[in-house]
Structure 1
Amino acid sequence: MAAHSLAVSLLSAALAAALPAGTVTISGATNVDDATLYENSPGGNAGAFPGFFAGLNGNGSPRRGVIRFDVSAIPPGSTVTGVTLSLEVDHLGGGTLADTHTVHRLFGPWTEGAGSGTGGNGGGGGTSSPGGVTWSARADGLRLWDSPGGDFVEAPSASAHVGTGLGSVAFTGPGLVEDVQLWLDHALGNGGWLIRGTEIEPGTARRYVSSEGNAATAPRLTVAYDEPAGPITLTGPEVTDDATLNNLDPTGNTGGDRLLRTGRTFEPSNRRALIRFDLSSIPASPSISAAELTLVVYRLIGDETELTLHRVTSDWVEGDGLGIGGSEGGQMGTVVEGAVTWNSRQHSGSPEADVPWTLEGGDFEPLPSAIVSQNGTGPVTFSGPGLAADLQAWIDGTGPNYGWMLLGDENTDGSARAIWSSDAPNEADRPVLTLTFGPAGASGFVYD
């Protein structure tokens, strides 16, 4: 039976130990792509120029910078906790007015190109560079932007005041965190950012040092993150509720017994086992990539049989009843007020207080979340996407955690199983739930 305050402290400690924090700074021409989009030079590219521009030049013509960082150095499955984009203004671009520059997430891929800026400081336009990004096209002059000047999220991910002098500009905030997390979780989704000014007043353009410029002041992306949790194991009465339901003992409870039972005996009697783990201390953010439930079979009747796990659809109360009679208490349970039985989610001797199942024997999904073929005593492990999906919904709060119903063969006499419960005297025999976090198969990003 679950002692929830202890479960919370134990699981919180486990998660803290399994979530090491890290920070990575990404910079350099091999890890960063950047370029300028010039409205007055719609086919020009400046991907190899040592600077890129944002804002309106003195004639009121927009310049927009595009920049993309390779975030594959962040461990797959990590949770991003902080992001800072650091840029350096090294030329005013003919601008004398202060402005606000904003960072917007770009849709889709683009190609940096090898063109150079024209004019005295590179602000006049770009040169021809087959395949390079321009005001009109994301690549090669054929793959056009849906809207000239770039396809981007209208709402900025971050903004910063840009004064009338040279020096560093830092963009930070939750929008950048969301963007980097998105790119980390979706390998093909990293289109980088577009940087623009308010585009109202002429003379607000600034030139930022690009990844081809001075390495000391080139663009830097600093990302703080929590690494994905290693496997978390839940076991024992502090984090587990379980009990057996018996159709020949419809008001008996076995929530405190050392054994769970499932399948059909020779009486014949059908038994079903409920099991639920306390997941309340696991934060909603981790993505479950794998889940395993391991049970230990103590005794069995008959040969190989199929065991199935089904998601329970109604709440229930474990109780602390013990099995009595028969072989090792397997005949019936004890009456416990408010505890789960074959007939009731919360049994009561008073009909007014009794909370019945919708269907006697428990309310659960007919399709199993996991299936195993089992023969002999010892461990048996359930796994698969159905199990992980149930747990993800319970952790995220999109579905209530009522646990699983364990079913055996209810059509064949002599197919019963006795399984150690969370109250088993030997800790190694108790049910164990193992969760692994982080996207399955994550392996970095691919860019066009």
Structure 2
Amino acid sequence: ALTTAGVTDPDNLNNDASTPITIPVTTTFTSIADTEVREDKPTQIFGTEVDMRVKPQAAKVARAFVQFDVSSIPSGATVTSATLTLCLTKIQAGQIHELRSVTGSWAEATLTWNNQPTVSATVTDTITVPGAIGCVTFTVTSNVQAWVDGTTNYGWRINDQNEGSIGRDSKYRTREDATVPAEQPKLDVTFVN
């Protein structure tokens, strides 16, 4: 125990050498790639579009892909929170969108339905498309921690939970849409090192 000015510190918490202070760091990342693939246009590239759609309709399924560079987070850091925010420009209220980590490489300039990469069998998070235009947030802490720990970061895919059913598309804003920069895809990460 440590006693200072008549106050006893039984756990020696005032000893800086034994209790290092860790300050959480929060960083916002912007996407480095975002696009869509469409089943009815299997060879078309959509990498320069200002939005990316998610659609469940059979034979016209659409999926969105997004990627961030988080390599500036130090190796060994503990990610305490990570959220992906995407903003809708068109909605089909009530649709459920799944977020899955991508397990193969892709590029915004070449991605098509025919060459889209594989994704994890595990759903990272889901959202329900709201009844009004706005932004939605996915919790992605486990994925970002895995990337910091050495798993290759290929980003995420967003798909409708009921692919093959009947339904119109919802659309998310991409980094190519400069009209509302605050609504471009973003990833907020809090970590301690």
Q: TM-score range by the shorter chain?
A: 0.7 to 0.9
Q: Counterparts in 2 of 1:392-407, with a 5 A limit?
A: 392-397=145-150, 399-407=151-159
RMSD: 2.4
Query: Larger helix proportion, structure 1 or 2?
Result: 1
Query: Is 1:432 paired with 2:173?
Result: no
Aligned to 1:232: 27
Query: Is 1:245 paired with 2:40?
Result: no
Describe the superposition over 1:302-323 as per-residue Cα deviations: whole angstroms up to 9, x where unpaired: 431101101111111121xxxx
CA contact (8 A) 2:59 2:164 kept: no
Residue 118 of structure 2 is aligned with which of 338, 363, 368? 363
Aligned to 2:12: 70
Residues 225 and 269 of structure 1, relative CA distance in 2, 3 Å threshold: same
Query: Is 1:382 paired with 2:172?
Result: no
What is the CA–CA distance in structure 1 between the aligned matches of 2:3 and 2:62, rounded to whole Å? 65
Describe the superposition over 1:280-337 as per-residue Cα deviations: whole angstroms up to 9, x where unpaired: 111113211121111111013x431101101111111121xxxxxxxxxxxxxxxxxx
Task: Report the structure number with the largest CA radius of gyration.
Answer: 1
What is the CA–CA distance in structure 2 between the aligned matches of 1:340 and 1:380, rounded to whole Å? 24
What is the CA–CA distance in structure 2 between the aligned matches of 1:233 and 1:221, rounded to whole Å? 30
CA contact (8 A) 1:305 1:415 kept: no
What is the CA–CA distance in structure 2 between the aligned matches of 1:223 and 1:260, rounded to whole Å? 50
C-alpha deviation, 1:255, in angstroms: 1.6
What is the CA–CA distance in structure 1 between the aligned matches of 2:152 and 2:12, rounded to whole Å? 39
Q: Counterparts in 2 of 1:49-448, with a 5 A limit?
A: 69-71=11-13, 222=17, 225=20, 227-235=22-30, 239-265=31-57, 268-300=59-91, 302-319=92-109, 339-344=110-115, 361-376=116-131, 377-383=133-139, 387-397=140-150, 399-408=151-160, 409-425=162-178, 426-438=180-192
CA contact (8 A) 2:94 2:128 kept: yes
Describe the superposition over 1:76-102 as per-residue Cα deviations: whole angstroms up to 9, x where unpaired: xxxxxxxxxxxxxxxxxxxxxxxxxxx
C-alpha deviation, 1:27, in angstroms: 4.0
Instruction: For structure 2, list consecutive stretches of 5 or more residues without a partner in the other structure.
Output: none
CA contact (8 A) 2:35 2:64 kept: yes
Name the structure, 1 or 2, with higher relative contact order (CA <8 Å, separation 6+). Answer: 2
Residues 254 and 70 of structure 1, relative CA distance in 2, 3 Å threshold: farther
Describe the superposition over 1:331-371 as per-residue Cα deviations: whole angstroms up to 9, x where unpaired: xxxxxxxx111112xxxxxxxxxxxxxxxx43001221001
What is the CA–CA distance in structure 1 between the aligned matches of 2:165 and 2:18, rounded to whole Å? 59
Residues 279 and 414 of structure 1, relative CA distance in 2, 3 Å threshold: same
Q: Secondary structure at the match of 2:146?
A: helix
Identity of aligned residues (%): 26
CA contact (8 A) 1:268 1:413 kept: no
Instruction: For structure 1, list consecutive stretches of 5 or more residues without a partner in the other structure.
Output: 1-25, 33-68, 74-219, 320-338, 345-360, 440-448
What is the CA–CA distance in structure 2 between the aligned matches of 1:244 and 1:291, rounded to whole Å? 23
State the aligned residue count: 187
Describe the superposition over 1:187-237 as per-residue Cα deviations: whole angstroms up to 9, x where unpaired: xxxxxxxxxxxxxxxxxxxxxxxxxxxxxxxxx6536856323321112xx
Describe the superposition over 1:241-290 as per-residue Cα deviations: whole angstroms up to 9, x where unpaired: 1110111111211122211111235x851111111110111111321112
CA contact (8 A) 2:22 2:192 kept: no
Q: Structure 1 residue runs of 4+, over 4 Å off? A: 223-226
